[in-house]
Structure 1
């Protein structure tokens, strides 16, 4: 009995469970001492009543705990008379022995372990809100036998009990303050959160889990969308590689063809020059042969005449004179010449032919480029609310024509409407991506097409240039011009009847094409920091000229 008192807690009078010591040197069960202090106004030692300014930090005395465990094991005998120490060895409790034999109530994954067990933890049966801690069946006996501990509030085991207790009142955090967004105990709710909206933690949990479920669904939707977009981007990367490789191969083919044409043209020039050289040399040699023959005849006659001139015998001179042959009719060589500039224009003609073939290749390339651009066709409709009062937009928004003397429409002073410039914008602005549309201009004598930024001026004098927010082509006085900082004549072989317009907002590119000729007309390169709108002007109609409408047509692919 005396030995048991050495290893017993003076509060519960049982063998120590998790023994801790106060600064004054007295030892108690950890749960007993915490329970004692929780119900005391002052922090005192239960034995000597020494007071402390604050709660001392309690650490389990491992040596004393091991000795207490051994003593406890020795005090419980087995049915056959063998003590527990013999069965289990040092450091195992009788409860652990009983359960270890059948592989029983050791704490498994998901179970709440006993806070008092040393070594392998047993499964907790109850949690004490006053201690606080969770205890197995063996370590709960103090709460059943001890008068003080019997008053503690026990409940079903709770994971991480200390995190779910109010640090100030050691009570369970059963309610939730919506104002401060924290879990509080009922005492805190009545004292410091009295004017706040307090609800049961269970109700707030259900509400938050419902909100979380909604957020989770939204998050899943976002993840699905982002994953889809990521897959699209990855597919785009593959297409970029594929298209780039195809373009590289096409470029090799084009430049190989150009090189072949150059070599062929050069060979043809060399052959032509060589043939002309051979013909000219033969002609010159024939002339030289004829001239040498005539020269020899004349020289022979001159020799005969020289001999006769030196004859002193008068009779002989007179006898020989009639025998001399008459002089041949002299040929006129004054107009005869050899043309040494045989190759005049040969290279020019060859290069001109090469340029024609080059243009054919370029036309083929532009045709291919157009077919690619047509894949970016966009639905474009004109906005009557932006049209100058003399412009009539069709009901389907596809056509615009000029009407002289048209009466003012309602809202004609709207800041969106052009005045007095004869323009109309598309309904939708283009703020990103690539877009392509086609406009039938027919045989009109004047028109303007292109894009304008959303902030471009619409009232009064308008500067039709990139500086003014316009990127356009116009037809005027029989000539198509690009309206850059200065007017740039395009010198086209024929006027276009249908114009294709391509916009790449990110690149800052606006390109124009003659659809029938499959020819590139002009490209603006700039930077777009806002939305741009397709813009149209059928221009003024005077004396029955330029009557036709501008028509946005459906893009025919291929």
Structure 2
């Protein structure tokens, strides 16, 4: 028999009365087949003789004969089924520790494929077949294999736990609902399963979302550590550069000071040598005169002594050495000390300038490409096409209302936000008599009168008029600026809470806001201030950063 015939026999060779494979199959006059015993007992218990399948009535009880063709086919089917079962058993996997074993298998227990909640038995693939083919067993509830099927039975009534009491939050059997849980809200177990499953899936999804958030947080922490390591290495390199240059500057100026001191010593030494030479000459003259006087004093010739000795010639002319000192005069000493002090002051200024240059070079490494956001610009402002320049015009443009736009103040924000790490940008302010620069919190007020202060979300530096600079806080902080900046650098360290402003050309620090607490994105802030009849018409220009070596 072909495989197709075998497949058909699984559905067609079942007796509709006993729901089992035919035994001694017989055929009725209407063409239906039954087990000989089944149809005989059926007609013995009924007065009318009719077919159980089609209900065709027979006037007399039909004489039944075994259908040899069907009988042979059934025998072949039984043989094929047995071979298939044996083959399937050999291919099935034996139960291992942790698996649910088949309760029917003898000898080697195979891995159960399903458990029946009606039979309270777990079946392997072979022994599960009757539950898949026999109509009576098909109505049994099959689940994935589980151990302790008895635990799924009501211990009180020995019936399946197929209902759920929502009042007591427990599984119950049918008898429980009539007795102990009569007034309680009871639903089918399948309904509660669907609800609980949806709740489990929701919770699982929430947990997965929490896991994902934490994984992202881990990645963020790792990135922060990596950035911190890079920044630390860069800072160490910068500090090494600073100390190397400081050492070079100190050594260079030390050499100059030592040279000056040595030159002063040589001048003193030369002066002393001149004095000594002159003193030796006088000593020689005095010795010569002393010898002459000694010879004269020993003479006994009265006339010779009187004639040759004159009082005015008693000693040769000499210099008064009482006030003569080897060191330089007081004025020269003061000049020497002044020269050394000047050189030390020059060293101090050089070190200060070197430190500011190194610091500016360090922050310039965090330069970002900033462009102006036209959606935030006040209608009087005129922006360049590349978004790098802004100045105040004379005609108010008719622009659509936008909640991002400054309504009453001539301000504009940048497109690029800062929410972590460090960033830096430079703006040319050359030719302007007033301007405001800095950063603003993304949610800071943009409507009506704006009070510039860190509390309101603005960290800004302002030139109000010629050489009048101040940091805008709750109370304005006047700033002392040595020279008028032509290019201003703005630096933000988000984690450290710093906003610093630099004079790029001189490399000096103008002002720093410290101790800031940033909790949201920061945006670059620009205000070119009113035109003032052309006096302040120059634009603010966002410049590319020149990373000076």
TM-score w.r.t. the length of structure 2 is 0.56
Given candidates 518, 528, 537, the residue that maps to 2:527 is 537
Looking at structure 2, the residues matched to 195 and 381 of structure 1 have their Cα atoms a distance apart, in angstroms, of: 65
In the alignment, is residue 133 of structure 1 matched against residue 85 of structure 2? Answer: no
2:363–2:491 CA contact under 8 A, matched in 1: no
> Over residues 379-428 of structure 1, what are the superposed CA-to-partner deviations in whole Å (9 max), with x where a residue is unaligned?
442355452x5434456654321234x34856789796353x54333467
Q: Which residue matches 2:478?
A: 488
In the alignment, is residue 369 of structure 1 matched against residue 357 of structure 2? Answer: no
Distance 1:545 1:166, change over 3 A: farther
Q: Which residue matches 1:145?
A: none
Which residues in structure 2 correspond to 1:199-348 (within 5 Å)? 230=218, 233-234=221-222, 236-238=224-226, 240-241=228-229, 243-245=231-233, 247-248=235-236, 250-287=238-275, 290=278, 338-340=328-330, 341-342=332-333, 343-348=336-341
RMSD: 6.3
Q: Which residue matches 2:536?
A: 546
In the alignment, is residue 508 of structure 1 matched against residue 501 of structure 2? Answer: no
Cα displacement (A) at 1:197: 9.6
1:169–1:187 CA contact under 8 A, matched in 2: no
1:176–1:204 CA contact under 8 A, matched in 2: no
Q: Which residue matches 2:47?
A: none
Q: Which residue matches 1:381?
A: 372
1:382–1:398 CA contact under 8 A, matched in 2: no
Distance 1:520 1:292, change over 3 A: same
> Over residues 324-381 of structure 1, what are the superposed CA-to-partner deviations in whole Å (9 max), with x where a residue is unaligned?
99x999999999995244323232232244235425633552353134212xx15442
Looking at structure 1, the residues matched to 92 and 438 of structure 2 have their Cα atoms a distance apart, in angstroms, of: 83
Structure 2: state its 5+ residue gaps.
Answer: 1-85, 128-135, 294-302
Q: Which residue matches 1:354?
A: 347
* Secondary structure in 2 matching 1:373: coil
Cα displacement (A) at 1:180: 12
Query: Aligned residue pairs: how many?
Result: 430
Which residues in structure 2 correspond to 1:153-232 (within 5 Å)? 159-160=145-146, 161-162=149-150, 170-171=159-160, 173=162, 230=218
* Secondary structure in 1 matching 2:366: helix
Distance 1:114 1:158, change over 3 A: farther
Given candidates 484, 487, 496, the residue that maps to 1:498 is 487
Cα displacement (A) at 1:508: 1.4
1:441–1:549 CA contact under 8 A, matched in 2: yes
Looking at structure 1, the residues matched to 457 and 365 of structure 2 have their Cα atoms a distance apart, in angstroms, of: 27
Q: Which residue matches 1:417?
A: 406
Distance 1:496 1:300, change over 3 A: same
Distance 1:439 1:547, change over 3 A: same
Cα displacement (A) at 1:495: 3.1
Q: Which residue matches 1:470?
A: 458
Distance 1:155 1:105, change over 3 A: farther
Distance 1:224 1:532, change over 3 A: closer
Cα displacement (A) at 1:524: 1.2
Looking at structure 1, the residues matched to 114 and 397 of structure 2 have their Cα atoms a distance apart, in angstroms, of: 89
* Secondary structure in 1 matching 2:365: helix
Distance 1:506 1:236, change over 3 A: closer
Cα displacement (A) at 1:438: 2.8
Structure 1: state its 5+ residue gaps.
Answer: 1-98, 141-149, 306-314
2:171–2:189 CA contact under 8 A, matched in 1: no
1:441–1:499 CA contact under 8 A, matched in 2: yes
1:177–1:193 CA contact under 8 A, matched in 2: no
Instruction: Tell me whether 506-515 or 230-239 shows the greater mean CA deviation.
Output: 230-239
Given candidates 422, 437, 444, the residue that maps to 1:434 is 422
Cα displacement (A) at 1:540: 2.5
Cα displacement (A) at 1:548: 1.0
Cα displacement (A) at 1:199: 10
Cα displacement (A) at 1:279: 0.9
* Secondary structure in 2 matching 1:358: helix
TM-score w.r.t. the length of structure 1 is 0.55
